[in-house]
Structure 1
Amino acid sequence: MTTFTIEHVKKSFTNGERREDILKGIDLSLKEGEITALVGASGSGKSTLLTIAAGLQSASSGHIIFEEKDLVTMNPEQMRKLRAIKFGFVFQFAHLVPFLTVEEQLLLMLDIAEVSMSKREKKQEVQHILKLVQMEHRKNAYPPSLSGGEKQRVAIARAIIHQPKILFADEPTASLDSKRSKDIMALLQKLTNSLKITTLIVTHDEEMLIYANRVIRMSDGVIMQD
């Protein structure tokens, strides 16, 4: 089932008197329960496309349709609430709060997403998600004591704790070695399928593409292969 549609999205910048076209009319539909990977050389537009789809920057033109609403027409507060409640984010670095335990990181995300649960229910949900990412034994640990792979597992748990519809992952394995990268991608694959999330991922690592349901190759602001 299609859950997210990008329609003829363009993005341009003006550099002095010169105009730079970063995206040149992208059309793309994403499906529930699938990982769609965006790949391409540096400057191809893949990260720009992901950040525009996620509402982290605006398009110059076009439409982004989610739940029958156009993100392009939303005001900043509407966009903030949508990102907090419906979207999840995983980046190259985990960006965990250093003075919060693993459990507290996830409880904070539930508060940000305004999830209606009692304190006890929230703790139970945190335990459930940590078990899914095999980090329940580290719930009282602080980020400085975690390995790189463990930090990314916590970052993924934080990204899905509020049951988002769309998960955006920008180079989630770039800071990890090969084994940990494969572990993280296998985890994302498992969670995307079991939780029926729509996942859009940017990666430069060709070895990680075996975990994607769909691979889209970009070059010079256009889709070259889908």
Structure 2
Amino acid sequence: MTTFTIHDVTKTFTNGEVEEQVLNGINLTLQEGELTALVGASGSGKSTLLTIAAGLQRASDGQVQFEGNNLIAMTQEEIRKIRASKFGFVFQSAHLVPFLTVEDQLMLMLDVSESKMTKREQQAEVTKILNMVDMNHRKDAYPSSLSGGEKQRVAIARAIIHRPKILFADEPTASLDSKRSRDVMTLIRDLTKTLNITTLMVTHDEEMLSYADHIITMKDGLIV
């Protein structure tokens, strides 16, 4: 089932009197339960495309269609609500809150997403998700005591705790060694299938492409 469509998206940046077109009419369709990887050289436009798809910046023209809405035409508040409730994010750095335990990181995300669950239901959901990422035994730990791989597992758990429709992953393995990178990619792939999430990932690591259902190569703001 199609859940996300990018149609004829362009992005132009202005630096003084100079205009630079970073995206040149991008068309892309994403499906439920599939992981799509965006690859390309630095400056190819892949990260710009990801941030536009995620509503983190606006396109200059085109449409980003999600659940019948064009994100480009929505207000910032409308986009914020969609990001909080329907989107999940994993970045190169885990960005965990240093003074919160692993369990509390996820509880906070449920509060931010305006979860309708009771506290008891939230705690049960946190336990379930932490078991899925093999981190429930570390639920009382603080980020300073976690390894890089463990931090990224918690970041993934936080990104999916509210059961988002779309997961955006920007270089999720860039700060990890090869073994931990494979572990994280296996986890992202498996969660995409198990939870029927639509995942869009930017990566520069060709070894990670084997985990993707689709590979989109970008060059000079175009899909090639």
Gaps of 5+ in 2: none
Amino acid in structure 2 at the alignment position of 1:17: E
Please give the TM-score of this superposition, normalised by the length of structure 1: 0.99
CA shift, 1:132, in A, is: 0.1
Q: Do residues 67 (structure 1) and 86 (structure 2) align?
A: no
Partner of 2:142: 142
CA shift, 1:187, in A, is: 0.2
Alignment of 1:36-51 (within 5 A): 36-51=36-51
CA shift, 1:27, in A, is: 0.3
Identical-residue share of aligned pairs (%): 70
CA shift, 1:17, in A, is: 1.6
CA shift, 1:15, in A, is: 1.4
SS in 1 for 2:50: helix
Partner of 1:92: 92
Alignment of 1:52-201 (within 5 A): 52-201=52-201
Instruction: Quote the Cα distance in structure 1 between the aligned partners of 2:19 and 2:78.
Output: 30
SS in 1 for 2:5: strand
Amino acid in structure 1 at the alignment position of 2:2: T
> For residues 173-212 of structure 1, what are the alpha-carbon distances to aligned partners after superposition, in whole Å with 9 as ceiling and x for unaligned?
0000000000000000000001000000000000000000
Gaps of 5+ in 1: none
**Aligned alpha-carbon RMSD (Å):** 0.4
Count of aligned pairs? 224
Instruction: Quote the Cα distance in structure 2 between the aligned partners of 1:106 and 1:10.
Output: 35
SS in 1 for 2:37: strand
Please give the TM-score of this superposition, normalised by the length of structure 2: 1.00
> For residues 145-182 of structure 1, what are the alpha-carbon distances to aligned partners after superposition, in whole Å with 9 as ceiling and x for unaligned?
00000000000000000000000000000000000000
Instruction: Quote the Cα distance in structure 2 between the aligned partners of 1:109 and 1:173.
Output: 22
> For residues 117-165 of structure 1, what are the alpha-carbon distances to aligned partners after superposition, in whole Å with 9 as ceiling and x for unaligned?
1111100000000000000000000000000000000000000000000
Partner of 1:20: 20
Instruction: Quote the Cα distance in structure 1 between the aligned partners of 2:78 and 2:15.
Output: 30
